[in-house]
């Protein structure tokens, strides 16, 4: 074969090979983008579950309490304000005290299965862990138990509390679990018609900063009353005094 013809054939073949390589090479327009990995947003229930587990596991903490009792006396609505404090030491030591108008107060100290309590009348014999608030289902011990036995949680947005960034969550309670705490709690739950809870959880440490619970119940006289209790938690796992 003549040299010129051989060279022409080689050039044609080389052109074909180069053209095929170019056509097969990936271009920016044909590359499939790799999706970025996003961290899933935790649900309100998972955030509260983690915070509640830390509350249950705490060696100790103290708390400050305020409460507003709305009720009717001689046709006029009354708004009695209470304030107090309390503390907890694992596994089962608890104390709380609330003081209100007209020399009213409720104090309780729990040590295992022993309960020592008092109010404006003096010592309260046969008191239980359900004692300590101005209405049924409103003792600080019970209010904290509502949180430990929450059922569902809803996201109410991010906010700040005392300069700390927090998740604000609404929660409902598992009424049966609260009733199971004892006969006195079960009796209180029979009178309670509604429990609406809000909790503020530290966004970084996932610990509970504050809890607020509105309890509606029927009094002994049969009228509907409400108590809204706010508990601010402090000094987790630090020494506390009883």
- For residue 47, give the H/E element and its range: helix 44-57
pTM assigned to the model: 0.83
Smallest CA-to-CA distance from 4 within 81, 224, 12, 70 is with: 12
Q: How many other CB atoms are there within 10 angstroms of residue 62's CB atom?
A: 20
Q: Is the pLDDT of residue 9 over 60?
A: no
What average pLDDT does range 81-105 have in this prediction? 97
DSSP 134: S
Q: What is the pLDDT of residues 186-229, one digit of tens each?
A: 999 999 999 999 999 999 999 999 999 999 999 999 999 999 99
Q: Distance between CA 242 and CA 236 in Å, rounded? A: 15
C-alpha distance across the termini of the chain, in Å: 110
Q: Given this model, what pLDDT does residue 17 score?
A: 39
**Domain 44-234 adopts which CATH fold?**
outer membrane lipoprotein receptor (LolB), chain A (2.50.20)
Instruction: Give the largest CA-CA distance in the chain.
Output: 126
Mean pLDDT over 89-104 rounds to 96
Model confidence over 22-49: pLDDT tens digits?
Answer: 444 445 455 666 666 676 789 999 999 9
Domain ranges of the chain: 44-234
Please give the full DSSP string across 212-228, using - where no structure is assigned: EEEEEEE-TTS-EEEEE
Question: How confident is the model at residue 34, as a pLDDT?
Answer: 67
């Amino acid at each position: 074969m003549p040299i010129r013809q051989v060279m022409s054939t080689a050039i044609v073949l080389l052109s074909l090979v180069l053209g095929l390589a170019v056509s097969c090479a990936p271009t920016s327009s044909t590359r499939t983008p790799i999706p970025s990995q996003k961290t899933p947003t935790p649900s309100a229930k998972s955030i509260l579950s983690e915070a509640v587990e830390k509350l249950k596991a705490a060696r100790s903490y103290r708390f400050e309490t305020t409460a507003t009792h709305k009720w009717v006396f001689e046709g006029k609505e009354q708004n009695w304000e209470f304030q107090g404090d309390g503390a907890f030491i694992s596994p089962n030591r608890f104390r709380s005290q609330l003081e209100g108008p007209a020399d009213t107060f409720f104090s309780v100290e729990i040590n295992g299965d022993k309960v020592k309590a008092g109010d404006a009348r003096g010592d309260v014999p046969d008191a239980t862990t359900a004692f300590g608030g101005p209405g049924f289902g409103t003792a600080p011990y019970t209010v904290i138990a509502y949180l430990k036995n929450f059922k569902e949680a809803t996201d109410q947005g991010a906010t700040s509390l005392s300069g700390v960034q927090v998740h604000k969550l609404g929660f409902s309670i598992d009424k049966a679990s609260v009733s199971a705490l004892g006969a006195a709690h079960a009796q209180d739950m029979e009178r309670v018609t509604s429990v609406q809870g809000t909790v503020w959880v530290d966004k970084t440490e996932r610990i509970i900063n504050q809890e607020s619970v509105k309890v509606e119940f029927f009094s002994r006289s049969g009228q509907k009353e409400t108590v809204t209790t706010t508990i601010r938690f402090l000094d987790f796992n630090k020494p506390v005094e009883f």
